[in-house]
Amino acid sequence: MAEDLEQLKTIGQKKFQDQAVWMLNAMWFKEKDARAEELWSLVSLFASLEQENGKEGCGLDGVNMHRVFEKLNAQQTFQEMRNHMRKVGVTSFKKISMINFLIFHFGYDWKEVVNAPQGGNIEGIEKAKKMLEDVTIALESATKKAEESKAAAEESRKKTAEAKSAATEATKKAEESKEKAEEAAKKVEEADQTAKVASEAADVAKKDEDVAIARQKEAQAAEDEVTKALNEVKSQEDAKENKKVALKKKIETAGLVAKNAAIQELAKLEDEDDLPLRRAKMTLEAAQRKAAKPVKIATEAREKASATAQQALDAKNAADEAKAQAEEAQQQAENALKASNEAKAQAEEAQAQSEEAEKQAEEAAQAAEEAVQDANNKVAEAEAYLEEQKKKAEGSGQGAIWFMQREVTEKKKFMPVRKGGIVKK
């Protein structure tokens, strides 16, 4: 009795799954695996309620054990729960081992469970267990790596497509820049030719203006000479008339002697012949009118020549400005072409690198797929080995084997079907 209790305590110190395996081994001769899935679920339930150690735990405190009953829709008062637990070997309620609950839950005699055979061929089963653990870990790792490699390959394909698109766009822009540079060079040539023509026209117009100015000066000088002579004649004529007016006034106001002298002088002036002076005046006035016409013509010609010269100069300046702008545009176009060619080269280099990365990613993905297949083959080998050991166990220890197989099945649920996984139910 004491030895059995001690053995029960020893079993109760194992982690949850090991206690469940012990229980399933004890149940196997009566029920086979009929309630194995229930045991599997209880392991998960206990692990979820064990806050400190999780699946590595071995028991639950009274509060959490009470929750187990609640989740199984078998609510118990704390006193009822303790009474039941005492019947299955529980002596302390600070922490209740899972095996005690399982004995109560499945209605087994605790002594029968404690002394249940745990299987023959233990060495073979342990080896099979180790093999399964190793290969399933390898399979999980290979599957994860395969998925990562697949994602990396997909990302590489995406980047390659983007790089190819960027290279195509860069090539297009380089061609456009080349066309713009050629067009700019053509415009510079045209602007240069226009500037030369405008400069020559401005030179011709300036010479014409200089000639017109010289002719205007000559005509104006001739007119000025005639005007000067005419003014001299008019001045003489005005002086004579002014003297007559003064003498007449003197005759009216002066004394007898002075009056007589003034009368004689006035008579003398009146007797003088005015015809030469009048003829000279008429001749000069005619000459003045004649000289004014060439001046007008020369002035109009000068004004026209000056306007033409100014227009030609403006055209020259505009042509020079257009040429400068065209040269600046050409420089910008050449800079843009250079930048576009550099961008094109970089894009092509990026495309080449992306294609190489894609190739490597595809190779890595293929290698990962092969690793998954190899791991699947090893899992199959381990499962086959486990089946052999299962037959050698002679009926005992089947619970341990069932749990090993169930662990593999559980892991396969989280793997892609095409990589050896199974569909979740």
Instruction: Say which CATH number the domain at 248 has.
Output: 1.10.287
Q: Give the pLDDT band (50/70/90) at residue 233.
A: confident
- Statement to judge: residues 208 and 86 lie in one domain: no
How many structural domains compose the chain? Answer: 2
DSSP label at 366? H
Tell me how far apart the alpha carbons of residues 66 and 61 are, in angstroms, rounded to a whole number: 9
Task: Name the residue range of residue 294's domain.
Answer: 176-346
DSSP state of 154: H
Secondary structure (DSSP) of 265-314: HHHHHHHS--HHHHHHHHHHHHHHHHHHHHHHHHHHHHHHHHHHHHHHHH
pLDDT of 403 higher than 60: yes
Of 346, 376, 408, the last residue of a domain is 346
Query: Which range among 295-309, 311-325, 332-346, 385-399 shows the weakest confidence by mean pLDDT?
Result: 385-399
Same domain, residue pair 182 and 260? yes
247 lies in a domain?
Answer: yes
Rounded distance, CA 23 to CA 7, Å? 13
Kindly report which listed range (91-95, 205-209, 247-251, 421-425) carries the lowest average pLDDT score.
421-425
Same domain, 190 and 338: yes
Residues 183 and 114 both lie in one domain: no
As a whole number of Å, the end-to-end CA separation of the chain is 45
Q: Is the pLDDT confidence value at 390 over 70?
A: no
Residue 154 placed within a domain? no
Residue 103 lies in a domain: yes
pLDDT at 425: 63
pLDDT tens for 5-55 read 899 999 999 999 999 999 999 999 899 999 999 999 999 999 999 999 999
Coil, strand, or helix at residue 59? strand
Task: Provide the pLDDT for residue 10.
Answer: 96
DSSP code, position 394:
T
In a domain, 39, yes or no: yes
Task: For the chain, give the longest Cα–Cα distance.
Answer: 195
> What value does the mean pLDDT take over residues 247-274?
84
pLDDT computed for residue 195 by the predictor? 85
Residue 240 located in a structural domain: yes
pLDDT at 419 over 60: no
CA distances from 74 to 16, 50, 80, 169, 206 (A): 21, 20, 11, 71, 120
Yes or no: say if 36 and 422 are a contact pair by the CB < 8 Å rule: no
Distance, CA of 240 to CA of 71 (rounded, Å): 152
Is 193 found in the same domain as 328? yes
Same domain, 195 and 321: yes
Q: Which amino acid is at 145?
A: K
What digits encode the pLDDT tens for the residues 106-124? 999 999 999 998 876 667 7
pLDDT above 70 for 414:
no
Beta-carbon-side half-sphere exposure of residue 423 (alpha carbons within 13 Å): 1
Do residues 102 and 192 both lie within one domain? no
CA 57 centroid distance within chain: 52
Residue 96: how many CB atoms within 10 A of its CB?
Answer: 25
Q: Is residue 38 part of a domain?
A: yes
Q: According to the model, what pLDDT value does residue 110 have?
A: 93
Q: Are residues 182 and 324 in the same domain?
A: yes
If you compute the radius of gyration of the chain from its CA atoms, what whole number of angstroms results?
A: 63
Task: Identify whether the C-beta of residue 194 lies closer than 8 Å to the C-beta of residue 319.
Answer: yes
Long-range Cβ contact pairs of 319-326 (< 8 A, separation 24 or more): 319/191, 319/194, 319/195, 319/197, 319/198, 319/199, 320/195, 320/198, 322/191, 322/194, 322/195, 323/188, 323/191, 323/192, 323/194, 323/195, 325/191, 326/184, 326/187, 326/188, 326/190, 326/191
| 92 and 187 fall within a common domain | no
Is 313 within a domain? yes
192 and 113 both lie in a single domain: no
> Is 71 a residue whose pLDDT tops 90?
yes
Report whether pLDDT(285) > 60. Answer: yes
Assess whether 200 and 295 both reside in one domain: yes
Predicted TM-score of the model (pTM): 0.47
Task: Lowest mean pLDDT of 146-155, 305-314, 373-382, name the range.
Answer: 373-382
CA angle 10, 13, 15 (to 5 degrees): 130
pLDDT digits (tens, 9 = 90+) for 169-219: 888 888 888 888 888 888 888 888 888 888 888 888 888 888 889 888 888
139, part of any domain: no
Q: Which of 300, 331, 346 is the last residue of a domain?
A: 346
Q: Are residues 207 and 103 in the same domain?
A: no
Q: What is the pLDDT of residue 14?
A: 96
Q: 312, 346, 380: which is the final residue of a domain?
A: 346
pLDDT tier, 349 (very low <50, low <70, confident <90, very high otherwise): confident
